[in-house]
Each structure stands twice: as structure tokens, then as C-alpha cells.
């Protein structure tokens, strides 16, 4: 079953694709709606395979939070929960490949998708992972710094105590305000350099710097639409964390497939550049 086409068909990646610049198109809210429709169609086409990636991502999130609590790193729960959706583009790599093949009307199985994902370690995706982890490290470091400065006289030994301090004291509100501002800035930076760079690296033979620059241009040349897309991702992902991360089983695949189709719409095919 082929998905609905949400943009031009992906180019043949066997050709040389070393161009340092890539044409960025102007998109509208209608492109977001069409991409969401195509992403949902892809999910329905292969619900079990798509859901597997969502389930794996959710299981990782549950295990990560459990480890933080078990290790007594209670203060890391909030920044981890906020930062968790930011690594979704890596978890969605298999979903991008699924959408690419569905768009072409190709048949594929588990081994085809997992092999493509495994091969990404030999390409530029590893460098993108490094950039993402570096930004996340800054996020955790600044969160810890603000925590020590603002809540220096507070103490908490469990998760309930931490939430009580953060949400029901004046110091906690100050801490949240500062942390939110810094976190929003870092999230905006990370979103800008990754929003289309992941599917672009999967689809084209380019370096990660070119992918990040193109992704940044997509955001700066379509600020209102991409801000709306960021809001959709953020709200959907955060709401999905509420039922013990289980909402991600459905939302991650749909958003991942949608991202592929949005990338197809906003970055021109090579034969049109």
C-alpha cells in the first residue's frame, strides 16, 4: 500500500549529491496539514512496524526515568522529560525510510529498514548525534547550575519532595522561570538545526554541516509555519509522556512520518535545484 504523496518524489540517491546549497521552498499551514495527513496514511499502511519504533522510544523513556530515580538523581527528571522529545528525530530514522519506500510504492520488510538504520553509523548521522548530545549536555549543565544557585537552601530526597519544592515555593517558581527561558532558547536552536536535517541526511549524500545549514534556513525562511510545527510537536510529545510514555507508541510514528513528508515539501528535489 503506497502512502499519499505529500510532495515531489524523493530523488535517486545514487547520483552525486554533494551540493553545498539546497533550495528551500516557502510552505504554508496547508503543507503542515497535508504532511500530517500523509504521515497518518503511512502509519496506517504499516501500523505494527511504525508502532514498534514508538514502543521502543517509549520503553527507553520509561527505563531512563526509572534509572534517574533509582540513582537518586531526582533533579534530572524535569530536564530529562523536557529534553526527551528533542532526541525523537534519531528514533524516527527508520520511520523516514519507511515513508520514503512507501512513497515510491516499494515493498520492504524489517531487515530492509533496520539495515538502513544500522548503516547510518557509517554516514553523517553520527556527527548529528554528537551535535545533539552536546546541546543536551549544555541543557543539563545549565539546569544543574540554576538549581544550585536558586534552590541552594532547599532539600528533597524523593520525587514528590522535588515537585513540591519546584511547583509550590517562590524559589521553585524562580527556578522554573529561569530554566524555562534558557531551555526554550536551547530547544529552539536544536529544533532549527535538526527539523529537516535528519531525513535529509538519510535521503541525500551530504555532510551534516550542509544539512544543519539547510534546516536552519528552512526555519528562518518559514518562521511562522515552522514555529507552528514546533508547537505541534512539543504539545503532542509532552502530552504523550503523561500516560507513562505510552502515548508515544502512536504519536512518535505519526510525527516521524509527517516530518519526512514536510521535508519533501520544504526542500526542493535535486533535479529542481
Q: From residue 87, how far is each of 54, 80, 187, 204 by CA, in Å?
A: 13, 11, 11, 21
At 216 the pLDDT is 94
At 20 the pLDDT is 52
At 14 the pLDDT is 38
Enter the C-alpha cell of residue 272. 529542481
Q: What CA–CA distance (Å, rounded) separates 240 from 178?
A: 25
At 4 the pLDDT is 44
At 5 the pLDDT is 43
Low-confidence ranges of the chain (pLDDT < 50): 1-19
How is 40-107 classified by DSSP, letter by letter? HHHHHHSHHHHHHHHHHHHHHHHHHHHHHHHTT-GGGHHHHHHHGGGGHHHHTHHHHHHHHHHHHT--
Burial class (CB in 10 A: 0-12, 13-18, 19+), 58: buried
At 144 the pLDDT is 79
Query: pLDDT, tens digit, for every residue of 26-56?
Result: 999 999 999 999 999 999 999 999 999 989 8
Query: pLDDT, tens digit, for every residue of 82-112?
Result: 666 667 777 788 899 999 999 998 888 888 8
SS3 25: coil
Amino acid at each position: 500500500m503506497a502512502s499519499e504523496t505529500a510532495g515531489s518524489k524523493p530523488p535517486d540517491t545514487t547520483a552525486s549529491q554533494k551540493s553545498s546549497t539546497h533550495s528551500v521552498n516557502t510552505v504554508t499551514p496547508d503543507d503542515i496539514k497535508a504532511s500530517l495527513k500523509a504521515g497518518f496514511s503511512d502509519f496506517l499502511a504499516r501500523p505494527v512496524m511504525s508502532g514498534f519504533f514508538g514502543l521502543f522510544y517509549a520503553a527507553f523513556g520509561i527505563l531512563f526515568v526509572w534509572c534517574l530515580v533509582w540513582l537518586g538523581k531526582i533533579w534530572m527528571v524535569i530536564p530529562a522529560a523536557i529534553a526527551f522529545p528533542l532526541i525523537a528525530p534519531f528514533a524516527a530514522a527508520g520511520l523516514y525510510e519507511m515513508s520514503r519506500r512507501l512513497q515510491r510504492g516499494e515493498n520492504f520488510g524489517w531487515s530492509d529498514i533496520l539495515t538502513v538504520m544500522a548503516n547510518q553509523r557509517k554516514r553523517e548521522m553520527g556527527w548529528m548525534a554528537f551535535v545533539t548530545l552536546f546541546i543536551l549536555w549544555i541543557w543539563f549543565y545549565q539546569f544543574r547550575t540554576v538549581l544550585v544557585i536558586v534552590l541552594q537552601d532547599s532539600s528533597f530526597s524523593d520525587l514528590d519532595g522535588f515537585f513540591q519544592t519546584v511547583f509550590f515555593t517562590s524559589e521553585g517558581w524562580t527556578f522554573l522561570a529561569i530554566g524555562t527561558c534558557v531551555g526554550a532558547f536551547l530547544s529552539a536552536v536544536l529544533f532549527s538545526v535538526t527539523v529537516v536535517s535528519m531525513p535529509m541526511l538519510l535521503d541525500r549524500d551530504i555532510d551534516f554541516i550542509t544539512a544543519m545549514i539547510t534546516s536552519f534556513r528552512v526555519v528562518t525562511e518559514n518562521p511562522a509555519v515552522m514555529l507552528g510545527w514546533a508547537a505541534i510537536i512539543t504539545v503532542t510529545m509532552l502530552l504523550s509522556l503523561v500516560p507513562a510514555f505510552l502515548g508515544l507508541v502512536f504519536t512518535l510514528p505519526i510525527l516521524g512520518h509527517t516530518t519526512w513528508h514536510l521535508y519533501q515539501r520544504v526542500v526542493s528535489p535535486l533535479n529542481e535545484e
